[in-house]
Amino acid sequence: MRIGAQNLANEETPQYKIIAVDDEEGIIDSLSVFLERSGYNLVGVTDPVQAIERVRNEHFDLMLLDFIMTPLHGDQVVEEIRKFNKELYILLLTGHKDIAPPLETIKRLDIQGYCEKSDKFDQLLLLIESAIKSIDQMREIKRINNELSDANQKLENAYMESIQTLRYTVEAKDPYTRGHSDRVSEYSVLIGKKMGLSDEELDTLRVGGLFHDIGKIGVPDAILRKPDKLTDDEYSEIKNHPSIGAHILAPAAIFQNIIPIVKHHHEKYDGKGYPSQLKGEEIPLFARIAAVADTFDAMTSKRTYRDELPLERVIEEIERYKGTQFDPNIADVFLDILRNHYDEIQAIRDKYVSNESVLA
């Protein structure tokens, strides 16, 4: 009698679903009688091709798989299944140990065990019981991971909301920044798309643009709101905002990818920027992209001491500072957008219509 497996199958635990695949119908019948009598939910299949489709479309916890079959051998079946299902626990059945697949094949296909066929099922039953215990452990690990993932997601959402609140506080302190970060975010993504960056990279640009000026929370209001040209000391205070922003975001793992944007979007290609005087490709790529987007938005925004610059002047300025302030390749990409795809720029500007100006 198989008391251990009987208990596993009948206790108030999740039902285990087993698929047995063997091109001999007699083997399937014997397994079905024995395993179903023990409380397992068994599906028997004699066609290995059909078995692949069953696994593709249904959930199974365990597969009992014959090795020598037609039209596919067991290792070929596993090869197909592993293309779309990495979790299925597979036990391979062989008519004789001399025709079992090589050990390296078993490891490569992640076949968890195999045994020789026999009129008695003792060895197979032990392997099934062991498999069930492993499946239980994997279910528990998955449950714990899901709970941790949910908790981490809630923590990340809470932190993101806190940083968003800080961003809105900066905008409240400095009327010139209203809408600026949103536009810089979208201009950066537009440049990134033209450069062929991946969706993940574009998302980093998007979030980095939104929070690139978060450090202005640490700049005195009097300086942010000053309508006249800043003194050298006041400008030094403003120049602290990238480092302040990086410091604010540093404790949260979710912001690690955007910290280079926040910290280095005021570096210059010739090494004369701040805070680290990085030069050329020492400056992180996303920061070089954000620098172009940030400067463009500053030039095309109205200040108390000047109107927004016309497009022709903006193009002249970007051309003039290629290779000194801006990465020349990124500048060329943006110049192409300005000259040939300005409707995409205008669409972004139209989304954030405001009578307020921007202090970049």
Are residues 213 and 245 in contact, defined by beta-carbon separation less than 8 angstroms? yes
Catalytic positions are: 216
| Interval 279-336: pLDDT, tens | 999 999 999 999 999 999 999 987 666 778 999 999 999 999 999 999 999 999 999 9
Count of C-beta atoms within a 10 Å radius of residue 32? 16
CA distance 91 to 75: 11
Residue 28: partners with Cβ closer than 8 Å, 6 or more residues away: 20, 22, 44, 45, 46
pLDDT tops 50 at residue 2: no
Q: Where are the domains of the chain?
A: 3-144, 174-351
| CATH domain 174-351 topology | Hypothetical protein af1432 (1.10.3210)
| Interval 46-58: pLDDT, tens | 999 999 999 999 9
Looking at domain 3-144, its CATH class is alpha beta
Which among 10-19, 103-112, 228-237 has the top mean pLDDT?
228-237
Is the Cα dihedral 208, 214, 181, 219 positive or negative?
negative
Instruction: Please report the pLDDT score of residue 98 as a whole number.
Output: 62
